[in-house]
């Protein structure tokens, strides 16, 4: 049976497009078909989705891989590249590892969002990183009531409330002062941004809990991974739960998440472990 991978590349960068052409030639030389259509069914039957770009391009690829259950492997041409697995200089090695099927797969929890509007209409969405409930362009702030598992916790005015997964805890949630959550922890994080209240600390709940938010005044909008928009006018109820479909990320190395944090955030470490010593 012939092998096939799907290719998703940033469309506006010449260096990315050049790398995409190069890896396509290398894969075809190995007898591996490359599908760069980015249609809804392009991931069906593929063994891998190779992403050449930044985290935004990976989030675009997640829309293809989530339902098809195909793992995504990212080559970082962006700024942070927290979801990526390799850098541009690693491309030849990456091609060889894919050729030899030398990758493992992480299953990442997603978040499902349901918005019930005052007129009774319901709209649903999902996110790998976060769903951010924001004031719309005409509002100064939104007044919201938040709750967990059907019990109201607090009411306040706020600019934005972020519902985040563990994977997204290093993205918008982190910028807003929320906690970093290890990616193998199935949790939902609620982080208010610029809230006018005493109780505005982030909340971390388990995978069986439901986060709830009532938009009490002004109109809100919800951005799922910054890509998919849901309008939530005043009077809407927003519920967030563990997603029904995870996203699969392919991994090439064994670097622990702590090492990724140090590398991506360039954290100042002094090497508190002596090389060669055992961990007690």
Active site residues: 55
Query: Treating both helix axes as pointing N-terminal to C-terminal, what angle do 91-99 and 14-29 enclose, rounded to 10 degrees?
Result: 30
């Amino acid at each position: 049976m012939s092998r096939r991978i799907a290719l998703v590349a940033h469309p506006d960068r010449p260096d990315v497009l050049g790398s995409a052409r190069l890896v396509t030639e290398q894969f075809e030389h190995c007898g591996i078909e490359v599908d760069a259509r980015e249609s809804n069914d392009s991931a069906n039957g593929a063994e891998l989705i190779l992403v050449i770009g930044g985290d935004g391009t990976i989030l675009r690829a997640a829309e293809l891989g989530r339902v098809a259950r195909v793992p995504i492997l990212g080559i970082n041409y962006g700024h942070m590249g927290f979801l990526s697995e390799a850098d541009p200089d690693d491309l030849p090695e990456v091609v060889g590892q894919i050729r030899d099927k030398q990758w493992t797969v992480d299953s990442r929890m997603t978040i499902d969002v349901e918005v019930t509007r005052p007129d009774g209409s319901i709209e649903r969405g999902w996110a790998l990183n976060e769903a951010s409930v924001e004031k719309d362009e005409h509002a100064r702030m939104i007044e919201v009531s938040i709750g967990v598992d059907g019990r109201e916790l607090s009411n306040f005015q706020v600019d934005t409330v972020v519902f985040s997964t563990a994977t997204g805890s290093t993205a918008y949630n982190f910028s807003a002062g929320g906690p970093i959550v290890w990616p193998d922890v199935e949790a939902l994080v609620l982080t208010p941004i610029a809230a006018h209240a005493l109780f505005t600390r982030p909340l971390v709940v388990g995978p069986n809990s439901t986060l709830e938010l009532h938009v009490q005044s002004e109109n809100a909008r919800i951005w799922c991974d910054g890509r998919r928009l849901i309008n939530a006018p005043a009077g809407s109820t927003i519920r967030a739960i563990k997603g029904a479909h995870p996203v699969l990320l392919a991994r090439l190395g064994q670097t622990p998440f702590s090492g990724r944090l140090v590398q991506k955030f360039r954290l100042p470490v002094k090497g508190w472990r002596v090389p060669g010593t055992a961990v007690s």
